[in-house]
Structures are given as C-alpha cells and as structure tokens.
A and B are shown apart, each in its own frame.
Chain A
Amino acid sequence: MAGLITMDDLTNEEILNILDDAERLLPVAKGKMYLPLLQGRILGNLFFEPSTRTRMSFETAMKRLGGDVVNLGDVKTSSVVKGETLFDTIQMVDGYTDIIAMRHPRQGAAQYAQDSASVPILNGGDGAGHHPTQTMLDLFTIRQAHGKLDGLKVVMAGDLRYGRTVHSLSHALNRFGCELIFASPELLKMPTEIISDLNAHGAKITETEDLYSMITDADVVYMTRIQKERFSDEDEYTRCAGAYKLHADHLADVKANMIIMHPLPRVDEIDPSVDSTRHARYFEQAFNGVVARMALLCKLLGVAIPEDLEKVGGEL
C-alpha cells in the first residue's frame, strides 16, 4: 500500500490485522521490551498546524521501534512562510525520509502529498477532512474494551461538522455494522455528504440534538470538542460552545461496560468528575495512539512483526 489517506485505503481484514499487530506491540509501546524493527528508518513529521498527541505519539512510536524522526518544526520558522508550496516541501522531505506523517489545515492535502511523494504518507489530519490514524487508535480502544467492533451502538457528540475524527470513525464503524447516533447542535451536524455516503452503505443512523437520552443503551460515547479555530463567525461559536457537558451524574443508568472516549484536548465537554468513573477511557485512548501508529508504521514500511516477540525482543 502507498499510504494511509482515508480509511478507504484499508479493508476490514487489514484493519483487524493491524489491530492484532498493535495488540502484540503493547509491551514495546509500554517500554517493557526493546524491539528495533525500524532501526535505520526515518520518519518525517510534517505538522503544518498544531498537534500534541498525534505528533508526539508518531515520534514515540518510531523511537520505540528503533527508528529516527525529523521534524518540520514550527511552521512560522520554516520555508512555508516564505511561500513554499506543499509540493516543494514534500519533494524535499521525500528525499530525507522513508515515511511521512503530516497534518495540514487544508482538506485534500494528504492525498496531494501522496501524489507528490514516493514515500508513504500517513494522514494525521487534513482540515475538516480525514484522520485515519486516529480512527485506528479509536478502533483499537473500542475493541480492547468490548472484545469486538461489530454490532456496537456508538454515540458521537459535539462538533460533527468540522470534527475530522468523527468523519473517519463513522465510516469505519459503519463498515463493521455499528449503529451510529450523531448528537450535535444544529449548526454542527454531520455534513450531508457524509450522511449520504453512510446511507448509501446501509448505515443505521440517528441524528439528534439530545445527547443525554441517547447514552443509556450505548456501548461507546465519543465526545468531541467544539473547535473554536474552525469557526469564522465568533457569534456562531458562542451559540454552540458548551452545548454538551457530560458529568458523572449523567452516568447513573448507562451500561456497565459503556466507555467514554474523546480525541482530546477537551475543554468543558467532559467534566473532571467523569475521569474517575469506570467509563472514562480517553487517557488510555491517547496512549493507544502510540501502539496503533507503531503497527501502521510497520505496515506501511513493509516490516513484518515477528510471530514470537518474546524471542526477538530484548530487555530495556
């Protein structure tokens, strides 16, 4: 495979195989085993807009596997401010590295980069478009909690219009036959083209503004932040901000094994009172970014993960 731009680049079987690989790499991700599968390989981290978890987890994943990382650094001090095109930047980094992880404010930038590059591109978010590596870690987290992906009832809440994580995740979960409930303010509803794509693939969808009545029989509640930076109109943001605030008190009647996820950072959509409940899973989810990205780096670089890691891996 060339790269990972959208979830359409992976079959369901490939997704499950990558999740299995990630599972086996957990001791490496946790620093309990040294496994330099990617020694001598270099990852180019190109983040044209801010990122904490995605950039750091890519870097951690590469280093845990013995590889190295070069960073674009702050866009303000790079050639981008001098007017360099994405095409030119990619030509340069393509020559320096074996694989590129990138985030860009414009939609389609990752596909554009893949068309410009000879090395695989991992899309770490393109505008309000896709975020497939986040989806892989989300799927990993869901399967870890429920032991399966198929047939679950998943509520996604918050900014569904601009939230690229929910765009990619909803496509993937639909492929595994999950029921999807989209809870959002009217202004931040899931884009119509995504709804029509999901419907064309036989999705079971409910759209609502009422989050709290939908969580009682859910298996997963996926909260998202209302993203101020995506609004051009301050008044619109003010109308939507604070639409949902999940508090521990809301969880009295939910399923015992329901999990609450969030791509982070959160603002006030999940109250800290939820953190200590058995449902909170967002910090493990953030950690899972390392292990999912380790498996993806191996897959895209064509490096097989040995069957018996105990024999191959060393102690730290």
Chain B
Amino acid sequence: MSNEHSMRRVTAIRNGTVIDHIPHGQALRVLEMLGIIGLTSVPVSLVMNVPSKKIGAKDIIKVEDRELTQGELDRLALVAPDARVAIIRAYSVAEKLTINLGDEVTNVVRCIMSNCITANLREPLPHRLKVVSKDPLELRCHYCGRPQDLDELANNVL
C-alpha cells in the first residue's frame, strides 16, 4: 500500500499539523506527550499500523487548527524522534519541521524519580535528561543518574 494511499485514510486538513512516520503503536503516547488527551477543542485524526516502505508500519496523526511549537517538537523527539512534521495551511504544506534529539533534553520533562533534587519545583536550575542511546531511546537524569521510564515520562511533561 502506498504512502499516498495510507495518508488518504483520513481526509486532508485545511490548517494544522500532520505528524507522519510515528513508530507504529506510538500514536497515543505522542498525543499524551503533546497534551492532546481527553477533551480537546480541536479535531484530531489518528491512523495506526499502516504499512510504510521506510519503517515497516507507522502511525499518523493530524491535528487541525493547531501548529506545533518548538517546545512540543522537543517533547515529540522523546517518543518519535524520526517522525516527520508538516505544518498545513490552506490544504498545502507550508512548512516542514525538523525534530532534533540532541545529546540532552532540557526543560522538556522532569526526572521520574520522586526523590530527585529536581522534584522540588522551586529549584531554579534546568531539568536535564542525558540521551544515553537514541535507538533504543534511553535517557538518564543529569543530576541523579536515574534511567527514565518513557511511559512515566509522559506524566512529567513541563
């Protein structure tokens, strides 16, 4: 099945954001990480487990009337670092955004360990997670060294 065909499983959007090439099964986690859960004011379309020449199978999300910010892209990098993000305006791709997962994720999420010094939110230094491995993604807190559970991290978005 072609990519074009899989994209047509949901209708084109007039304005908003398309997130393509999400690893299959990760779309719900992406939505959680972006804070698009429960009652939202914008229409969201979701396609899961569609065939992809590049990654075998993938998920796709379309969010109408909302353009992802750089902060949201940084969060996306934690669950779908190879996703492709396009900003749609008037049914056309107006911008292609790049996700950059560097060596460190700063002030995007806070460490999952309840006894970490950063759990005191009054402490002013940045929340820093080191990227130990990109594939599979492995993060550790810069301060306490605790490996981060990616499922738990979704609850610690700043």
Q: How large is the interface on B (under 10, 10 to 19, 20 to 34, 35 or more residues)?
A: 10 to 19
B136 CB within 8 Å of chain A: no
Question: What residues of chain A lie closer than 8 Å to B146, measured between beta carbons?
Answer: 107, 193
7 A-B pairs closest in CB distance: A108-B143, A108-B144, A107-B144, A108-B117, A106-B117, A109-B117, A112-B117
Contact at B115–A107, with CB atoms within 8 Å?
Answer: yes
Interface-central residue, A105, A107, A116, by most chain B CB under 10 Å: A107
Contact at B147–A112, with CB atoms within 8 Å?
Answer: no
Interface-central residue, B117, B120, B123, by most chain A CB under 10 Å: B117
Q: How far is the CB of A150 from chain B (nearest CB, A)?
A: 25
Contact at A106–B120, with CB atoms within 8 Å?
Answer: yes
Grouping DSSP codes into helix (H, G, I), strand (E, B) and loop, the B interface class, with mixed when no group exceeds half, is loop
Once A6-B145, A193-B146 are accepted as A-B contacts, the answer to whether A108 and B123 lie under 8 Å apart by CB is no
Question: What residues of chain A lie closer than 8 Å to B117, measured between beta carbons?
Answer: 86, 104, 106-109, 112, 126
Which chain A residues numbered 69 to 106 have a C-beta less than 8 Å away from chain B?
83, 85-87, 104-106
Partner of A86 from the list B123, B142, B144, B145 (CB cut-off 8 Å) is B123
Once A6-B145, A129-B145, A193-B147 are accepted as A-B contacts, the answer to whether A112 and B115 lie under 8 Å apart by CB is no
B157 CB within 8 Å of chain A: no
Residue of A nearest to B118 (CB): A108
A115 CB within 8 Å of chain B: yes
Residue of B nearest to A194 (CB): B145
Residues of B near any A CB (own CB < 8 A): 111, 113, 115-120, 122-125, 141-147
Contact at A106–B115, with CB atoms within 8 Å?
Answer: yes
Contact at B119–A111, with CB atoms within 8 Å?
Answer: no
Contact at A127–B123, with CB atoms within 8 Å?
Answer: no
Contact at B122–A85, with CB atoms within 8 Å?
Answer: yes
Provide the A189-217 mask, 1 if CB < 8 A to any CB of B, else 0: 00001000000000000000000000000
Contact at A115–B116, with CB atoms within 8 Å?
Answer: no
Question: What residues of chain A lie closer than 8 Å to B125, measured between beta carbons?
Answer: 87, 112, 115-116
Question: What residues of chain B lie closer than 8 Å to A128, measured between beta carbons?
Answer: 115
Residue of A nearest to B128 (CB): A115
Interface-central residue, B115, B120, B122, by most chain A CB under 10 Å: B115
A112→B123 CA distance, assembly (Å): 9
A111→B129 CA distance, assembly (Å): 13
Contact at B144–A87, with CB atoms within 8 Å?
Answer: no
A112→B141 CA distance, assembly (Å): 11
